[in-house]
Chain A
Amino acid sequence: MRTLLKKPIIVLWIVLILIALILIAGKGLKYGVDFSGGTAFQIALEKPVSSDEINQTASVISRRLDWSGSKDAKVTPSGNQYISAQLAESDPAEINKIKETLLKQGKFEAVLDGEILFSGEDIKSIFKDPSRGYGLQEIDKQNDVFQWTLPFLLSPEGAQKFAKMTFHKCIPTGSGTSDSDYDCSRTYFFIDRPIDSIIIMDNELYFEEQDVPIVPELASQFIPIEDILNQLNTNYYTIDANSLSNEEITSLKEDYNTYKKAIVSPAISDSVKDKLEEIGYRVVVKEKSDTQPWIWDATGLKSIVSITPGIANMDVPTIDSPRFATFSQLTITGNANGEENSKKRLDDLLVILESGSLPIPIESISTESISPYLGKDFLNYSLLIGIVAILLVSIVLFIRYRYLKLALPIILTASSEIIILLGLLAFINFRLDLAAVAGILATIGTCADSSIIIVDELLKGKAHHKEIIEGHTQESLKSKIKHAFFIVFASASTVIATMLPIVIMGGGISKLIGFAVTILLGTLIGILIARPVYSQIARRILLADEQHATHKE
């Protein structure tokens, strides 16, 4: 045992097992929908695109899923034509709704004082070019503050409207020499502003959201909720969650002449909803998300951006003055802590201004849903298969060799191979699906195969007892091992030859790749670590036995 520990490969093996165990316990394994339940979307684009475009498309899809209120959507581009997305949802009706949002483009509106300042059609282009200022800039190294800038161009008519509407929309608060001396109006960026619906929220929620943060994730600056509601030009009600007063009913009936839809908060009781439907409204319940106030979700509000004094022509006395400036190129800037946050804010705004339009149209969406109840079963059974397989292999080995000392290390190295493989999969954030697990299970078989080749080659050495007495034991065993490894390497190479093309050319078909990746990694771990380790152990055991035998003679 002590001599074994001196071998670098054994030390490496033990270290790897420990690292793998730490990774599995600490980082944990990621499971695909097969095990976690939920739905996997395979989104095919109309044609293959560049890696930039596919990443951009993936980020738009991810934002759209966020907007539709899907929690924990994981969107990843795969290959150059596919995007896979994974959601925890598995209810078919919900999945159909999500598919619709994925296909539908939103309508962008920037609203000032309840009037449309500019909309998606007014934006002629968005400059994604750093030379025009687009991007991030570190402005405070010490506090890790980044400024993001998003320049875009309005159409001439759009620019004129913008200039007129924003004129003198700032109120001087100080000397009027710097931007901070003004208090300027805010513009509200909406996607699919519900202009055809009334908003109904319960008193409790209204009280909770009376003051709404301007940037939901920061919660540093607040505005009254009315500021947002006033941008809609529709009526809104704050009511008791369980009942409607007579006045409210009268007013609701009157509103029904103009608005046909009612967006209600989740706490509103069924009796109230029934009453609304009785009047004729189509009732839409908006769930509350964890990340932002309900009112943001209910109204489709995506961002609040302040006007700057320069844009508002504060230094010009009247609109007819020759100095009145019309800006067609506008920029939105802002600060955030940390590069990642700033990048996300910039990306979010970009997607909003583009109305969530996709650079490349979607050709088809394929889905695969598994109910969470079933997924859990699958995981337990996979584990059972693994344990039973290892047990059965042990029995076969024991029957064949009747020599526990040689068979046990096979089990040990096979198990260690699986552990290291799982650790590696945890490390690369690989998402395990059923096919991938089948690959891992199949690895147990290959591992046993190679170990058997090694044992048999080594045992052949036992027959030549003469050599041992003559002191050639070491060499003889070494050449046997070399022989065994030729076979092991050759067969591992055939596995690699057949699995590598799947991984490389699979074109991002995640289902195809899972199985191949686990087998490929399992094979590599096998020939690089588990097999050399086993041969060392087996050699030690045989040498010790033979020395023992020689002593006896």
Chain B
Amino acid sequence: MRPMAKLYDHNKKYNRLLFAPAIVLVLIIILVFIYPGIQKGIDLKGGYQIIVNFDSPKAYSSLEDKLINQFGLSEVHISETKAITSYGLLIEFAQPKELDAAKASKQKIDFENLSLDSTKTQSKEVLTALITKKYLSESDLIDIDQAQSKDEVKTILNDKLFLASNNFGSQINSLVQSELSLDDNSKIQSREVAATLGTDFVKTAVKVGITAFILLILVVLYFFREIMPSALIIFSALFDMGAGLVGMAIFGLPLSLVTIPALLMLIGYSVDTDILLTTRVLKDRTGDPINAANESIKTGLTMTFATIVTVLAMLVISYAAQMLVVYEIAIILAFGLIGDIIATWFFNAPTLLNYVLAKEKRKQGTN
């Protein structure tokens, strides 16, 4: 890597590098928080997802139309993916609002202390909406009439709601199967996430994220025992995560049980170049810090290239094979690693050098 000019010099021209992270930071904020932004995936908000792979492109406008107009579903989202030899359709939609409403009313009934008769009447009201949508039949009401106790009514109501959501699932399945003419040999992945499960997942993800971040701060402080360099490493890690989020925003990847751990993993995956830099600059007292930084960048870029090629292999092949999970993780890692080049060498290095040089000057001053 001889042709590369020395990035860091004694004239502190390297401070000009700081423009790059500043601009990228603005971009991150715009892309992640303003437009296009990042959506919550069905893992976290509940809903349905069907992915079908085909050998040739498939028309899906009629399916989309039926999902929206016939079933009255919200958040219907169908997108097409093309790989070298195969095509895919990604179909997502939320639970029907009638079912959501029914579940909410059921909770109200559970909570209120009503007489047996009014519990029955209210429960039947809840089910009527579902009967109109053909998720249940009139005969399902009879069971409620025959119930002997309030608890029994509640159990029946609960079962009927499950039945309704199951029936909805079957109707959707037959619709998708006939619209896309699928058979036993079709390559299908389908998911159904209950809304309540999604809420639980969000809570867990937030808890995990906060703990991971606190542990990260403790670990970095333990290894470097100096506030400023540690803060720079943590900031770089956050910047890398931001870059990963940009990847998600650009490629329309939602926050999910796949992308959240990938974002956390990104910290560990990309922060090692920062650790390399900080160690060499702080602890390598034989040479001068500027030289140490220039040495580090050679090693650091080799590291980043080695990881980027790994991630590229994941990205390209998973895209071709339509392995969505691996593809999503690879995109986040790739963007994070690119972001890390900026965070480490354009932000962390100049700031760290300024800090170290200022400290040395002060030391000389006191001597």
A-to-B contact residues, CB < 8 Å: 34, 42, 44, 81, 90-93, 96, 99-100, 103-104, 361, 363-371, 373-374, 377-378, 381-382, 384-385, 388-389, 392-393, 395-397, 400, 433-435, 437-439, 441-442, 444-446, 448-450, 452-453, 456, 460, 483, 486-487, 489-502, 505-507, 509, 511-512, 515-516, 519, 523
Contacts and interface: CB of A to CB of B under 8 A. Distances in A.
B48 to A, nearest CB: 10
Highest count of chain B CB atoms <10 Å: which of A42, A91, A370, A491:
A491
A92 B190 contact: yes
16 contacts: A91-B184, A103-B159, A373-B186, A381-B323, A389-B313, A396-B306, A442-B314, A456-B298, A456-B302, A487-B272, A490-B219, A490-B272, A491-B268, A494-B267, A499-B212, A512-B204
Contact of A442 (B53, B223, B329): B329
Contacts of A442: 265, 269, 310-311, 314, 329, 333
Interface residues of B, number: 82
Contacts of B329: 435, 438, 442, 515
Contact of A34 (B53, B267, B320, B325): B325
A287 B330 CA distance: 44
Contact of A515 (B216, B262, B268, B309): B262
| Nearest 10 CB-CB pairings of A with B | A495-B268, A364-B194, A491-B272, A445-B307, A497-B215, A392-B309, A445-B310, A448-B306, A434-B325, A381-B321
Contacts of A384: 317
Contacts of B6: none
Interface in B206-238: 207-208, 211-212, 215-216, 218-220, 222-223, 237
A452 B272 CA distance: 11
B305 interface: yes
B77 interface: no
Given A367-B192, A434-B326, A438-B326, A377 B321 contact: yes
Contacts of A499: 212, 261, 264-265, 268
Given A442-B310, A491-B271, A494-B237, 19 more contacts: A44-B194, A44-B197, A96-B170, A366-B192, A368-B189, A384-B317, A389-B310, A395-B309, A441-B310, A441-B313, A483-B279, A487-B275, A490-B275, A494-B219, A494-B267, A499-B265, A500-B212, A505-B207, A515-B262
Interface string B295-335: 10011001101110111111001101101011001100100
Contacts of A492: 268
Contacts of B260: 512
A301 B20 CA distance: 74
Contact of A367 (B191, B201, B283): B191
Contacts of A509: 201, 204, 257
Given A435-B258, A438-B329, A456-B298, A501 B186 contact: no
Q: Is the interface of B mostly helix, strand, loop or mixed?
A: helix
B166 interface: yes
Nearest to B271: A494
Nearest to A374: B187
A511 B190 contact: no
A385 B303 contact: no
Contact of B200 (A44, A373, A496): A44
A502 B212 contact: yes
A463 to B, nearest CB: 10
B357 interface: no
B166 A93 contact: no
A374 B216 contact: no
B173 A494 contact: no
Contacts of B207: 501, 505
Contacts of A392: 309-310, 312-313
A530 B110 CA distance: 58
